[in-house]
Structure 1
Amino acid sequence: MKIKPIYYIPFLLLLVYSCSNTKYLPEGEMLYTGAEVKIEDSLMSKSDKKALKSEMQELLRPKPNRTILGWRFKLSMYNFAGEPKKEKGFQYWLRNKVGEPPVTFSQVDMDYNADVLQNRAENRGYFKSRTSADSTSSNRKAKAIYTVKPGKQYTIRNVIWPDSLGTRLDSAVTRTKRRTRLKQGSPYDLDKIKDERNRIDERLKEKGYFFFNPDYLIIRVDSTVGDHQVDLRIRLKDDVPERAKKVYTINNIFIYPNYSLSAASDTLSTPTENDSVTRYKDYTIIDKEHNFRPIIYDRTLYFHKGDIYNRKDHNLSLNRLVNLGTFRFVKNQFKISDSLDTALDTYYFLTPLPKKSIQMELSAKTNSANYNGSELTVNWSNRNTFKAAELLSISAFGGLEVQMAGQNKGYNVYRIGSDVSLTWPRFITPIKVETPSAYVPRTKVAIGYEYQNRQKLYSLNSFKTSFGYLWKEDITKEHELKVFDAIFVSPSHVTEEYRNRIKDDQSGSLQRAIDKQLIFGPTYSYTYTNTMRQFKKNTIYYKGSLDLAGNITGLVTGANIKKGDTISVFGVPFSQYAKTEHDFRFYHKFSKNSQLATRATIGFGYPYGNSSELPYIRQFFVGGTNSIRAFRARSIGPGTYRDTTVTANSFLPDQSGDIKMEINAEYRMKLYSVVHGAIFVDAGNIWLWNKKDGMEGAEISKDFYKEFAVGTGIGLRLDLSFLILRLDGAFPLRKPWLPDGDRWVLDDIDVGSKYWRKENFVLNLAIGYPF
């Protein structure tokens, strides 16, 4: 890489300045640079030592000033700003918002930290451990060192449960032992003992013990029973309240669907006939306005009169009520029945959202093809269309994209359209389908139209409609099945200029963009993610989809394009293909403020029967702001193909393929406040299944991995929580269309060259993370 020496100057200045942080310290103070925990125990395995050390390291306080590649950036900014004269302005902002004050060694209580580590070691079963604290200092910098000598860890010899022949509650506690987390021979761990108390409480709640509490359990530890072993005795405390020993059933169920928080009352009472009471099955509904049909509660509530109280059904009912999307607040209370002391009257207080709403959204967009524009969307919705939480949504949108620079300047894009959808909070099927999930299943029908005008080129009319189902197994797993998904695309106003350019297009992409397309058939997608679990160090995201278009129709009609037997519907040959795509993402957290994000995407589309290739709108593309960022959107491939007829004034066709492979890696770190940075590498390409005249090297081969495009770059992001603004700058490392052996272009990189930057450097401005 060719980088002029002048570009090193800012980095050298910052490095020199960062070394002077200690000169701003008060007299007699030293800069605290952190702490080290040493585990001295020859009996522990390396993995156990590493885990214990990492756990203890997190407990130490205070934390030293944060570093970025060894540089205390925030501390440097604090010192650089100096003491502000007033509590506002740039100097105050730089010192107190961007910067942070020095963490000095005098702030460290080493004895307290040593006690914390000693306590944690004992909680992990190292009962005879010893902890000491020391420090080292040099050049007005100090570091704390804590040495822990754990000794041999105690293990569990026996777990003794209450007598199953004792009280009813004793017996219920003992019956929970099958899934105990306290295993014979496993290490003693105080956290696991606490978890076990909570687990027993959860199990008892599922058996009707509504008033039980984990504090009513005690687990005694006997460490005198053997060589580094303990016995754990689980028993009930002597002062357990009588009501905590009883199993409760559900009695009356009262529902207030128009509950007002402003008029809230804590008094739970039986409604009278003056309250406009409606009785439906096991439910007593107090709804003066009759805004909701009673069937809505039968589909969401799991409790019925006479059922034994169950915490799982309790939570499922609340979650499903919230998930309906009709109520702003959902509140649930229980009261011991006046008629039976082992029965609970159940009260549901539901505060509805406004039935109708209108929302307006204005968005800005840009891409690597130099298109900039905006789009306005207006959406009107009715959350309770037929009084059973049905959602009717009607939206209209219009947008404009203007090509401000680069090739084909002035070929603007105009879009206008509308979508209508109706969603029912249940499965609408010929047979009844039960879903024991916290999430309400949905049936959705949608219809839409879009008119797109590419100025000076052509216009497209797109019609789409679908009918299908959406459901979630739990918070991590989601399904979407469209039993019928159809789209019809028809061109209009194709200009002579565009037709002339089609004649020069070797790939055929320009022609495919204006071909009439009719696609119909089922689609299915499955999504799994645990990225919402912020406490996990490693999280994943996976989405797989399957698209089967025209398969049954093609089978029935015997369509075969290879034999010339093409079948048309409404004068348009229908598309027949099978397509699948898989997107896998892995996130590894190094710390609270840094992580590695990776993505691997693979897709295959196979046309057959009535089609010789995938319809244009179902083909694969790579390149752009959320793909391989060092290349213009949709400009890579297929394979090693490159349209040699393209010049500086040519119209650039979008390159598409039947097969897609892409991998991405991005290291993300927090720089300061809401400003985040990233370093990334992207690679991938697309291919055709079959060889095509005029497109040499476009088909897939056994050497496909040698045809990957590779790019790298750096990015800045403003993470405002509700909005993430992203700016990525990237350049290519490997160009697949070059001759084999010359595809790596590392030697050509010349950051100081204006010509190189114009030809290779790509800026991507976007909203949200790329993956």
Structure 2
Amino acid sequence: MASMRGSLGLMGNWAKIGLLLLMLSTMGCNTLKKVGEDELLLTKNSIYVNEEKVSTSEIKGLISQKPNSSVLGYPLRLNLYNLAKENPDSSFQDWLHRKEKREKRLNNLLSQKQVSRLQESFIVKGASEFLERVGEPPVVIDTSLTRKSVERLEAYYNSKGYFNNNGSYEIVEGKRKKRAEVEYNINLNKPYIIDTVQKNITSPELDSIYTHSARRSFVKQGEQFDLDNFTLERERLTTLFRNSGVYNFQESSINYDILRDTIKNADDQLMDVQLNIKKFRSTTDSSDTNAPYRIARLKKINIYADYAINGDSDSLKTLEYDNYTIHYHDKLRYRPKALTDAIFFQKDSIYRDLDRIRTYRQITNLNTFKYPNIEFIADSTQTELISNIYLAAKPKFSLNLNFDVTHSNIQQVGTAFSTSVITRNVFGGAETLNISARGSIGLLSDASLSNETFTSELGGDINITFPRIWFPFNTEKIIPGYMLPQSRLLAGTNFQRNIGLDKQSLNSILSYNWSPTDRLKNNIELLNVEFVRNVNPDNFYNVYRNTFSNLDNIADDFQNDPQFASFYETVDNTTDSLRLNIPEGANEFVRAVLNNEVPVTEDQLDEVNSIAERRRRLTDNNLIFASNFTHTKNSKSGINDNDFYQYRIKLESAGNVLSLMSNIVPYNKNDNGQLLVFGVPFSQYIKSELDYIRHWEIGDSQVIAFRSFFGMAVPYGNSDNIPFVRSYFAGGSNDNRAWNAYELGPGKTSNINDFNEANLKLAFNVEYRFPIAGDVKGALFADAGNIWNVFDNESNPDAIFQGISSLGDIALGTGLGLRYDFTYFVFRLDVGFKTYNPARVGADRWFNEYNIRNAVLNIGINYPF
């Protein structure tokens, strides 16, 4: 083991040396190395519109040539590119023949074939190719591209109504040689205003639809010309017509005539606009060419329940149900209502494209069919439609297997596996049953936590999903089908061995979720029942070592008193040093102190009482009978959208139902007066959370990301604290990265427990993300926050939220990170430094541990927020 550590240390030193050499070489590299004598390196673009500087990302994106990217002002990728040799083959040949006998000696040593291969090796050629690939060639000012940028700027402002604008550019050479900036100047002049909006709509039916919606038009009289508004109006009209019965409306049928006379209207800058909506143009049937658009209704709706592309349609059976015609082979495997509830078309109703989209979404959401195919067949008058919906079933069963290697503060290394069997259409109503099992085994990080070396965990769940709200009352008016309603019923269990106090848990959930829009989601857990049993409570002082150390320090004052001798044991049998034996001695010492049998000070009594309370809390079994509601919104429009916000609001209440039932059914009570259900005191609390995230794209793949979190859980009634599994902690790779998980807080306390938690949390994170080279990205971050106790049985004033003054206990961690983008996920490495530590006093709070030795290394998958 010692030799392995030595090897790892040596490798770490070499890695540091290599990184240092790379940094020194790039910093010392000549930025102008590959810029020609008559060339200028572009260092900056400036855009002035009517002599005012403009820096919006939309305008800057019109510039064809942009300066080389930089990391914190340093052109890293450019200097990496400059490190590459321009002609590595020629350089190698020059080196090889520089001395008369060098080639001969190498041929004798390696062979002629290997010397030839050496020329193609990474050292000779591959390194330069790699540097060119991850680097960036110098951006040299190209006047043809500069003129093109001016043309783009002029075209852009043309589209905004400034038809008489004119642009120019100026190359401004800097004080440093072979470097220059480009200044773009646009003079807008007066914009054109829409004077009148006329229409020419060939279809009377479309004309009527348009007239009723004209007030919502994006193109309005008296407003400045803006080409974007015309695009929005085309999209609006296309959506409007397709949702008003015109199933075959084409956006290409819409165009505008812009009537302007730059001479006549030189002073008032007015223009007329005419909206033209042409007739339908068919690409398949010449008889329909230039046919007017008509409003169509659905005459018949066919559902092919088990469609096969090469199947025999003549042998299909037919079932009429609620104005739908269902076709199937041999036996219908689905209840008719389960199929028709997923279809939003109604017989004799006008066609709406919205219904088509909702039908696609709902059928896909059933997780029973492959992506459906929907076709519409019109009659000769284009006013009646036959809809054919083809459904191809997914396999009845599917099996998933997963295997992972894990690491945590408890396990040095662990392996985890999980498997699940999915059964579709369980009861004929497109229900999905998922039966899963999971297990893990790992090597303990600290053998003193248990007499065993390995940890193990085994669990399983039964989860069934219904594609509707499973409730005694009809909820269709409140939560219609297009919101993709689902009900979920879950029952599971989990067994842990040699992890903490060894836990067994049972949980059951009845939940409902639905999506009013693509970006809004709601979830109600009507019942969330969890029972946690601590199998090995006597292991408490082995697991919570800090707590035991504090207790043992108090007991040291009495270790020589013969009447307490039974509480102690000799450490290692080598000295006279004594400590409390676990668990009997520690428990008896606590009991004796609380019974005033041991003469301790008042502060020591408070400490022992706190330890006893903590032990009771963490070793007692928990019964949580809760309900909660979660509302989330995400404005992100796509995977490449880096300018968005999202928030999550959650409200949870626990124990109220059981408390009300106690008025009907008498409950037993424990010594603390708590009501017992199945011999366990149930938890009673109310909890609320608000999580808000905002991302701003500031150009060149640079993003500023911000997150804020507030959470509070207040115990009452049958509880004076929050169960450990529902409390808050601070620190870790997704929180304050300058502290390890559970190390920060509560309040201004300093690591008083092994796992510090509380019932109030504030957290704020801001991160600047920027590209470095290729798929490697960097980040600078600042994390602030803490946890506190409030409205519970905590007596330590340093851990309790006291109001505005406690905001001074908000910890601040800053740091930097590297990320590698694997497309499907991001591997993240962050280093956090304690910048402001509320556990210290006075000036020592700031930058006292701001060094490499006290830095915290975080490894994570994907971004923290």
TM-score (norm 1): 0.87
Deviation of 1:341 after TM superposition, in Å, equals 4.1
Which residue of 1 is the match for residue 32 of structure 2? 22
Which residue of 2 is the match for residue 661 of structure 1? 762
Structure 1 counterpart of 2:179, from 129, 133, 141: 141
TM-score (norm 2): 0.78
Deviation of 1:548 after TM superposition, in Å, equals 0.8
**Structure 1: distance between partners of 2:669 and 2:635:** 44
Q: Does 1:441 align with 2:475?
A: no
Structure 1 counterpart of 2:188, from 150, 158, 177: 150
Which residue of 2 is the match for residue 422 of structure 1? 464
Q: Does 1:602 align with 2:707?
A: no
Deviation of 1:473 after TM superposition, in Å, equals 0.9
Deviation of 1:539 after TM superposition, in Å, equals 1.5
Q: Does 1:60 align with 2:71?
A: no
Indicate if the aligned counterparts of 1:356 and 1:382 stay in contact, CA closer than 8 A.
yes
How big is each residue's C-alpha offset from its partner over 1:607-645, in whole Å with a ceiling of 9 and x where there is no partner? 11111111221111111121111112112222223466x
Please state whether the residue corresponding to 2:260 is helix, strand or coil: strand
**Structure 1: distance between partners of 2:128 and 2:365:** 45
Deviation of 1:450 after TM superposition, in Å, equals 0.5
Indicate if the aligned counterparts of 1:367 and 1:633 stay in contact, CA closer than 8 A.
no
Give matches, 1:255-654, under 5 Å: 255-260=303-308, 263=310, 273-288=314-329, 290-337=332-379, 341-367=382-408, 372-404=413-445, 413-434=455-476, 435-436=479-480, 438-454=482-498, 458-495=501-538, 498=542, 500=583, 506=610, 508-533=613-638, 538-557=643-662, 565-642=673-750, 653-654=754-755
Distance 1:239 1:722, change over 3 A: closer
Deviation of 1:14 after TM superposition, in Å, equals 4.9
Indicate if the aligned counterparts of 2:835 and 2:848 stay in contact, CA closer than 8 A.
no
Larger mean CA deviation between 189-198 and 29-38 belongs to: 29-38
Distance 1:733 1:114, change over 3 A: closer
**Structure 2: distance between partners of 1:484 and 1:592:** 47
Structure 2 counterpart of 1:126, from 146, 162, 165: 162
How big is each residue's C-alpha offset from its partner over 1:299-330, in whole Å with a ceiling of 9 and x where there is no partner? 11111221111111121111211222223322
Distance 1:567 1:36, change over 3 A: same
Structure 1 counterpart of 2:24, from 13, 22, 30: 13
**Structure 1: distance between partners of 2:269 and 2:637:** 40
Letter of the 1:144 partner, please give it. Answer: V
**Structure 2: distance between partners of 1:104 and 1:761:** 41
Indicate if the aligned counterparts of 1:459 and 1:493 stay in contact, CA closer than 8 A.
yes
Letter of the 1:399 partner, please give it. Answer: S
Q: Does 1:50 align with 2:86?
A: no
Indicate if the aligned counterparts of 1:549 and 1:578 stay in contact, CA closer than 8 A.
yes
**Structure 2: distance between partners of 1:733 and 1:70:** 24
Please state whether the residue corresponding to 1:69 is helix, strand or coil: coil
Deviation of 1:586 after TM superposition, in Å, equals 1.3
Indicate if the aligned counterparts of 2:430 and 2:466 stay in contact, CA closer than 8 A.
yes
Deviation of 1:705 after TM superposition, in Å, equals 0.4
Which residue of 1 is the match for residue 864 of structure 2? 770
Q: Does 1:254 align with 2:302?
A: yes
Letter of the 2:514 partner, please give it. Answer: W
**Structure 2: distance between partners of 1:282 and 1:98:** 62
Letter of the 2:185 partner, please give it. Answer: T
How big is each residue's C-alpha offset from its partner over 1:533-583, in whole Å with a ceiling of 9 and x where there is no partner? 467664112111111111132134269999964221111111111111111
- Gaps spanning 5+ residues in structure 2: where? 1-16, 90-118, 282-288, 543-581, 591-606
Which residue of 1 is the match for residue 563 of structure 2? none
**Structure 2: distance between partners of 1:560 and 1:700:** 34
Please state whether the residue corresponding to 2:271 is helix, strand or coil: strand
**Structure 2: distance between partners of 1:93 and 1:402:** 43
Letter of the 1:639 partner, please give it. Answer: G
Indicate if the aligned counterparts of 1:98 and 1:672 stay in contact, CA closer than 8 A.
yes
Letter of the 1:154 partner, please give it. Answer: Y
Give matches, 1:77-88, under 5 Å: 77-83=80-86, 85=89
Please state whether the residue corresponding to 2:351 is helix, strand or coil: coil
Deviation of 1:141 after TM superposition, in Å, equals 3.4
**Structure 2: distance between partners of 1:342 and 1:587:** 48
Deviation of 1:281 after TM superposition, in Å, equals 2.9
**Structure 1: distance between partners of 2:143 and 2:403:** 50
Deviation of 1:395 after TM superposition, in Å, equals 0.9
Letter of the 2:46 partner, please give it. Answer: E
Which residue of 2 is the match for residue 267 of structure 1? none
The CA RMSD over aligned residues, in Å, is: 3.2
**Structure 2: distance between partners of 1:97 and 1:407:** 51
Distance 1:438 1:280, change over 3 A: same
Q: Does 1:180 align with 2:217?
A: yes
Indicate if the aligned counterparts of 1:509 and 1:655 stay in contact, CA closer than 8 A.
no
Distance 1:604 1:238, change over 3 A: closer
Indicate if the aligned counterparts of 2:442 and 2:456 stay in contact, CA closer than 8 A.
yes
Larger mean CA deviation between 614-623 and 361-370 belongs to: 361-370
Distance 1:372 1:640, change over 3 A: farther
How big is each residue's C-alpha offset from its partner over 1:455-496, in whole Å with a ceiling of 9 and x where there is no partner? 5x5311100001121111111111111111101111113345
Indicate if the aligned counterparts of 1:31 and 1:105 stay in contact, CA closer than 8 A.
yes
**Structure 2: distance between partners of 1:561 and 1:687:** 30
Deviation of 1:750 after TM superposition, in Å, equals 3.9
Which residue of 2 is the match for residue 648 of structure 1? none
Please state whether the residue corresponding to 1:175 is helix, strand or coil: helix
Deviation of 1:353 after TM superposition, in Å, equals 2.6
Indicate if the aligned counterparts of 1:675 and 1:718 stay in contact, CA closer than 8 A.
yes
Distance 1:436 1:211, change over 3 A: same
Deviation of 1:17 after TM superposition, in Å, equals 3.3
Which residue of 1 is the match for residue 245 of structure 2? 208
Which residue of 2 is the match for residue 75 of structure 1? 78
**Structure 2: distance between partners of 1:560 and 1:624:** 41
Give matches, 1:80-119, under 5 Å: 80-83=83-86, 85=89, 89=122, 90-91=126-127, 94-106=130-142, 108-119=144-155
Indicate if the aligned counterparts of 1:161 and 1:174 stay in contact, CA closer than 8 A.
no
Deviation of 1:60 after TM superposition, in Å, equals 2.0
**Structure 2: distance between partners of 1:127 and 1:99:** 41
**Structure 1: distance between partners of 2:23 and 2:35:** 23
Larger mean CA deviation between 320-329 and 609-618 belongs to: 320-329
Q: Does 1:725 align with 2:827?
A: yes
Indicate if the aligned counterparts of 2:205 and 2:295 stay in contact, CA closer than 8 A.
no
Which residue of 2 is the match for residue 31 of structure 1? 41
Letter of the 2:436 partner, please give it. Answer: S
Indicate if the aligned counterparts of 1:300 and 1:440 stay in contact, CA closer than 8 A.
no
Indicate if the aligned counterparts of 1:216 and 1:237 stay in contact, CA closer than 8 A.
yes
Distance 1:637 1:401, change over 3 A: farther
How big is each residue's C-alpha offset from its partner over 1:350-400, in whole Å with a ceiling of 9 and x where there is no partner? 333322111112233334677543421111111322233211111111123
Deviation of 1:173 after TM superposition, in Å, equals 2.4
- Gaps spanning 5+ residues in structure 1: where? 1-5, 265-270, 645-651, 752-756
Letter of the 2:297 partner, please give it. Answer: T
**Structure 1: distance between partners of 2:19 and 2:510:** 59
Which residue of 1 is the match for residue 10 of structure 2? none
Distance 1:527 1:407, change over 3 A: farther
Please state whether the residue corresponding to 2:387 is helix, strand or coil: strand
Larger mean CA deviation between 613-622 and 56-65 belongs to: 56-65
